[in-house]
Structure 1
Amino acid sequence: MPSHRYRPVHDRVDLPLTERTWPQQRLTRAPLWVPVDLRDGNQALAEPMDPARKRRFFELMIAMGYKEVEVGYPSASQTDYDFVRLIAETDLAPDDVTIVVFTAARRDLIERTVASVRGIRNPVVIHVYTATAPTWREVVLGRSRGDLADLILAAGTDVLELAGHLPHVRFEFSPEVFNLTEPDYVLDVCDAMTALWDASPERPVILNLPATVEIATPNVYADQIEYMHRNLARRDGVILSVHPHNDRGTGIACAELALLAGAQRVEGCIFGNGERTGNVDIATLALNLHAQGVDPMIDFSDIDEIRRTVEYCNGIEVHPRHPYVGDLVHTAFSGTHQDAIRKGMAEHRERAAATGIDERDLEWRVPYLPVDPADLGRSYDAVIRVNSQSGKGGIAYLLETGFGVELPRRMQIDFARAVQQHADAEGAELSASDLWALFAQTYLDAGDTAPALVHYSVDDAHTEITVRLDGVEHTHRAAGLGPVESLISVLAAAGTEIEVLSLHQTSVEAGGGSDALTLIEYRRGANVEWAAGRARSVLEASFAAVLRAARRH
């Protein structure tokens, strides 16, 4: 590999910091978290969010407790502009939530950005950015250091002219690719902006220092942040923010070390979505604090619901090994790990009983589990039973190799309960055919208690569906809804309401061909359950799964 083509960061950025204090610091409180999923993360999606998904994501972040949210790039996207106007014209955002809007340093774009926030009652931050690193100046912008500084100050002047009189509006500046910019230059530019905007403790300016492309070990970024922290003018009128990316896979470490070095605010995405390898993962950062006894100030107590919403809005599944949230992170496949965890859980219960302290308040010290899964709304016991069955009968493996059926991990957990009960009752090991028969009985067979599909038609404009329920036919005709959503609507009109949480497609390979198999996770009343549908077409398999979910229990 031609490694000689690349220059180490120390040859490109000469950092004048010889003594550092960040290695002696400790993280004792959460920073201000600023999720940028609706702007930066949204730009990184193959299919950017439509208004409904964007609103659902925003409502999730508010429910989790975020107090500052970057909601979009209104000058670059009509969808983003309309979403900002929705916030302005409704009570979607609670009064204590700060709304951040993003713009490039160009007057016409700044004008449209300011227009988008008119009428918003919430605190507002107008976030202006320009790339400042030498390669960007020379290759992308074609400007000298002086020319670029003039451009940045002109944009700052435009912001001040257009929005400086608004009492609830504050300003943010990002020197994009800060970590590759000469320290003296970026310090001068930032000081010029805080002077122009008259940064003060009463109306602080946010200086956001991005590691837009990770190019060094995390200690280098920490040094860069500490240099700015110690040398910025008007430091008491500055909120020092960081925005690490993850090109080297060390975005988390960069953010944590930056906080030790004086940063007060972190921009990132909830599960690390973003361009290339992504933005820093706020969930991991926050739960790392939780695991050290520091309140992260964000609620992750129902992490599966958070994951489902983020997956739906992004159209990207969270990796099963993703820290804290992945489906496998509380699963031990090793027998020695399982034994240690079981013993640790038993000892935890015994200590609680002996001391009279509630298990949820007792110090956590269970081997291999850095946090109690119950803190995140999960149960370790449910996961380990699946693993035990997999060790004996290979539930998921046998279904996949015998029938081509790939079950989502959460459905494996659900099905394992049925397998466990059946195996305990029968006292025998189950073959692949036994497992498939039990799967069909558990998720496919609905008997005569499910609604029947009488008729459906789908064209570009409308969907029409008729179902028979308790001998009565119900018809629903809708525009703008997909077939599955239309079926759910006609069932709701007939008095049977279900909420589909996730939908997965696989197939059943048997004989000379294969059938489509749709697997749905749904909520009906207070219960979250699974159902399946099998047919020659994907659409009819999806209908069958929904109808099975709507059966009478």
Structure 2
Amino acid sequence: MAFDHRKYRPFTPIARPQRRWPDKVIERAPNWCAVDLRDGNQALVKPMTVAQKTRLFLLLVKVGFKEIEVGFPAASQPDFDFVRKLIEEDLVPEDVTIQVLTQAREELIARTYEALKGARRAVVHVYNSTSRVQREKVFRMDVAGIREIAVNGARSVARHAAQAPETEWIFQYSPESFTGTELEVAAEVVNAVIDVWQPHKGQPVIINLPATVEVSTPNVYADMVEWMNDNLHHREHIQISLHTHNDRGCGVAAAELGVMAGADRVEGTLMGNGERTGNMDIVTMAMNLYSQGVDPMLDFSNIREIAETVESVTEISTHPRHPYAGELVFTAFSGSHQDAIRKCLSTYQEGDVWEIAYLPIDPRDLGRRYEEVVRINSQSGKGGVLHVLERDFGITLPRWLQIEFSRVVQEQAEEQEGEVNGEQIHALFNKHYLATPAGWQLHAYELNRERDVVDARISIGGDGDDTTVLAAEGRGGVEALVEAIKRCTGQDIAVEGFDEFALNEGTDASAMACVRVRVGDEFSSAAAMADDTTSAALQAVLSAVGRVAAVRASLASVG
């Protein structure tokens, strides 16, 4: 069998019986650093132009990022030119710090500082790989050799910074492929770098622990972060940063658990664009915090603009089910989901704690509309259909008519093999219930009450002058009308269901009535809207009876 799992071996977990992080709760947002312009850009088939990078940079600033990795200026001329553009055109706000990446090589570090000349403040992020696989099979070095590369890089970074004191420098080091590095080796190399930079003497230092390749479950990564947190020199003077990739689909989970394990800072990208399966998705992690009542310190209230900008500059489409940003992420097609959402929303008032079934956050917080929440296809039920009618047209239906009409909508969805939109639902309701059968239009009525009896005279007909006057007595207008029709037609007629509703503002009518009648052994339902409840009720009865009459006339003509 070609699909052979025996060629792999499980990742060895960390022996940490006294782990503390499982009891932690994230109560504030970490420091965010967006790496869309470097890591995200390097992952593109067609890298961004300087103009595209500028557009994305301005978006990241607008969202609220205070640290933005803007490139790898020593690796390509476009990256170099972009960094220069930001500095020379003064595009970096006072409260924003740019970050650049470089390998721990002297010539690349020198080129990096050349790109940053004149910057007010910058993070110089230097790295070298420390994993066992890279040491043994790529560099063919022992731990001492890898440590020497890191130390020499740290010294070079500090030396070039000293030559440009007009800039506020922040140093960052990453043991690349940290997750594939033995913890003792990682700590040895990182501490050697810390000892060069001496953060306890005032030099700002960030130690980044990247899951360059995600090789274990997120809890193991958290154990590794907590172990490093306990074994770094001068821990109180440095920031621990995380940079998780998504090879196992757990980038967000790993970053969240890593913050619980003691990290102060998180690097990631909008929508998770990045190498291989992508980077940690900052939109998802930040909105996860938001859903728990934690201020993410980032503004995603216009998620459409963000998604459209990212799609434009990366040429990568946002998945429709992407958490928070996807087109369908707040959309329910399932009948039971729709019914629960409708009922919860009907009781929600502004200022209430958000507790809506199937919606972890209010879609409006992201600039989304409630119109997108419930959409109808063949999987939908009465609750969804009713929600669309209430939401879009101010029409409320009784339960018995919800059940009946939902079958009509489901048949339409099955016939066209797809979604039925609000306008189609409204048209179906008009056709099957609101449309008045020919000759059964209410023209006028008079109701006179004596004692407990109503004397009714009702004029009906078509669009012309041909009218019929029905007269009878009953305990109310509807009962009197039914009695009059029974006398006129000789049919056994009974009202099986009757409901009246006031309509929402914005509709032409102010009342609606829904009735279900039995004519002999046949049943018929109808609805009517009017300026008053009596007119609506009388017309609904006439329409329901008239539909049976129309069906019989049609069958008679065929026979």
The answer as to 2:377 corresponding to 1:377 is no
Q: Is the 8 A contact 1:100 1:124 kept in 2?
A: yes
Residue pair 1:38, 1:72 contacting (<8 A) in 2 also = yes
Q: Which whole-Å CA distance do the structure 2 matches of 1:397 and 1:78 have between them?
A: 54
Map residues 190-229 of structure 1 onto 2, 5 A cutoff. 190-200=190-200, 202-229=202-229
Amino acid at match of 2:76: S
2:328 counterpart of 1:333:
no
Check the 8 A contact 2:330/2:372 in 1, yes or no.
no
Provide the rounded CA distance (Å) in 1 between the counterparts of 2:364 and 2:283. Answer: 16
Matched, 1:74 2:73: yes
Q: How does 1:468-507 map to 2 (within 5 A)?
A: none
Identify the residue that residue 315 of structure 2 maps to in structure 1: 315
User: Is 1:253–2:253 an aligned residue pair?
Assistant: yes
| Equivalent residue letter for 1:364 | W
Correspondence list, 1:153-172, <5 A = 153-165=151-163, 166=165, 167-172=167-172
CA distance in 1, matches of 2:412, 2:47: 42
Give, in angstroms, the shift of residue 416 of structure 1. Answer: 3.8
TM-score by length of 2: 0.68
Q: How far apart are residue 424 of structure 1 and its match?
A: 5.9
1:346-374 deviations in Å (ceiling 9; x for gaps): 011xxx3xxxxxx1x32000101100101
| Residues 425-440 of structure 1: pairs in structure 2 closer than 5 A | none
1:406 aligns to what?
none
Query: 1:9 aligns to what?
Result: 11
Question: What's the counterpart of residue 145 of structure 2?
Answer: 147
How far 1:120 moved relative to its partner?
1.3
Q: Is contact 1:131–1:177 with CA below 8 Å preserved after alignment?
A: yes
Summarize deviations over 1:186-214 as a string: whole Å, max 9, x none. 11111111110111384321000011111
| Cα-to-partner distance string for 1:418-469 (whole Å, 9 max, x where unaligned) | 545655666699xxxxxxxxxxxxxxxxxxxxxxxxxxxxxxxxxxxxxxxx
Match in the other structure for 2:451: none
Question: In the aligned structure 2, how far is the partner of 1:5 from the partner of 1:428?
Answer: 66
Q: Does the 8 A contact of 2:321 with 2:328 survive in 1?
A: yes
Alignment of 1:117-136 (within 5 A): 117-121=116-120, 123-136=121-134
Match of 1:452?
none
| Residue 239 to residue 73, structure 1, CA distance change in 2 (3 Å) | same
AA paired with 2:144? G
Structure 1 residues 261-305: Cα deviation after superposition (integer angstroms, max 9, x where no partner): 000101111111111111111111000000000000000111111
Corresponding residue for 2:306? 306
Instruction: Report the counterpart of residue 497 of structure 1 in structure 2.
Output: none
Q: Which amino acid aligns with 1:384?
A: V
2:70 partner SS: strand
Name the CA distance, whole Å, in 1 between partners of 2:10 and 2:306. Answer: 39
Aligned partner of 1:61 in structure 2 is 60
Aligned residue for 2:266, secondary structure, equals strand
Partner AA of 1:343 in structure 2: K
Between 199-208 and 135-144, the greater mean CA deviation after superposition? 199-208
Structure 1 letter corresponding to 2:368: R
2:50 maps to 51
Q: Distance in 2 between matches of 1:53 and 1:169?
A: 27
**Counterparts of 2:147 and 2:124, CA distance in 1:** 19
CA offsets, 1:172-199, max 9 Å, x none?
0010110110111111111111110111
- Alpha-carbon offset, residue 142 of structure 1: 2.0
Deviation at 1:136, TM superposition (A): 0.7
Q: Secondary structure at the match of 2:68?
A: strand
Q: Distance in 1 between matches of 2:131 and 2:171?
A: 22
Equivalents in 1 of 2:261, 2:147: separation in Å? 26
Instruction: Specify the SS of the correspondent of 2:239.
Output: strand
Match of 2:399 in 1: none
Q: Which amino acid aligns with 2:9?
A: R
Residues 201 and 238, structure 1, Cα contact 8 Å, conserved in 2: no
- Asked if the contact 2:331/2:375 (under 8 Å) is kept, the reply is no
1:3 counterpart letter in structure 2: H
Deviations 1:109-139 (A, max 9, x none): 1111000000112x20000011100111121
3-state SS of paired residue (2:241): strand
Name 1:137's counterpart in structure 2: 135
1:30 corresponds to 2:20: no
Alpha-carbon shift at residue 394 of structure 1 (Å): 3.9
How many residue pairs match? The answer is 401
Could you say if the C-alpha distance between residues 247 and 391 of structure 1 is closer, same or farther in structure 2, counting changes exceeding 3 Å?
farther
The amino acid of 1:372's aligned partner reads D
Matched with 1:363 is 353
Helix, strand or coil for the counterpart of 1:271? helix
For residue 139 of structure 1, give the secondary structure of its aligned residue in structure 2.
Answer: helix
Deviations 1:370-390 (A, max 9, x none): 001011111123442455588
- Could you tell me which runs of 5 or more consecutive residues in structure 1 were left unpaired when the two chains were aligned: 353-358, 400-411, 430-553
Deviation at 1:393, TM superposition (A): 3.7
Whether the 8 Å contact between 2:331 and 2:372 is mirrored in structure 1 is: no
Contact (CA 8 Å) 2:105, 2:153: kept in 1 or not? yes
Distance 1:419 1:74 in 2: 55
Preserved contact between residue 209 and residue 241 of structure 1 (Cα < 8 Å)? yes
Within 2, Cα distance between the matches of 1:422 and 1:319? 32
> Which is further off, 137-146 or 74-83?
137-146
- Report the equivalent of 1:92: 91
Identity of paired residues, percent? 47
Is the 2:178–2:209 contact (alpha carbons within 8 Å) kept by the matching residues of 1? yes
Structure 1 length-normalised TM: 0.69
Q: Is the 8 A contact 2:333 2:376 kept in 1?
A: no
Matched, 1:345 2:335: no
- Give the RMSD, CA atoms, in angstroms: 2.2
Partner SS for 1:9: coil
- Displacement, 1:152? 1.2
Partner SS, residue 51 of structure 2: helix
> Residues 389-400 of structure 1: matches in 2 within 5 Å?
391=410, 393-394=412-413
Matched residue SS, 2:278:
coil
- Tell me the SS of whatever aligns to 1:150: helix
How far apart are the structure 1 equivalents of 2:211 and 2:412?
48
Secondary structure of 2:32's counterpart equals strand
Distance 2:118 2:225 in 1: 36
| Separation of aligned partners in 1, 2:211 and 2:263 | 13
Mark the CA change 1:275 to 1:428 in structure 2 (over 3 Å): closer, same or farther: farther
Separation in 2, partners of 1:304, 1:2 = 43
2:145 alignment partner AA:
D
Secondary structure, counterpart of 2:172 in structure 1: strand
Contact kept in structure 2, 1:331 and 1:380, CA below 8 Å: no
* Structure 2: distance between partners of 1:397 and 1:252: 39
Question: Matched residues in 1 for 2:428 and 2:15: separation?
Answer: 68
Match of 1:546 in 2: none
Aligned to 1:108: 107
Q: Deviations over 1:285-342 (max 9, x none)?
A: 0000000000000001111111111111110111111111111111111111100000
State which structure, 1 or 2, has the greater radius of gyration over its C-alpha atoms: 2
Report the secondary structure of 1:308's partner residue.
helix
Distance 1:382 1:254, change over 3 A: closer
How far apart are residue 163 of structure 1 and its match?
A: 1.2
Q: Show the 5 A alignment for 1:429-468.
A: none
Call closer, same or farther: CA 1:81–1:391 in 2, change over 3 Å. Answer: farther
Q: Which amino acid aligns with 2:296?
A: P
The 2-side partners of 1:50 and 1:32 are apart by 28
- In structure 1, C-alpha distance between the alignment counterparts of 2:320 and 2:411, rounded to whole Å: 22
- Asked if structure 1 preserves the Cα contact closer than 8 Å seen for 2:307 and 2:325, the reply is yes
CA distance in 2 between counterparts of 1:169 and 1:209 reads 20
Report 1:394-409 matches (<5 A).
394=413
CA 57–347 in structure 1, closer or farther in 2 if over 3 Å, else same: same
* Cα deviation, residue 91, structure 1: 2.3
Q: Which amino acid aligns with 1:5?
A: K
Structure 1: how far apart are the matches of 2:179 and 2:342?
46
Find the aligned partners of 1:33 and 1:164 in 2 and give their Cα distance: 27
1:258, distance to aligned residue in structure 2 (A): 0.4
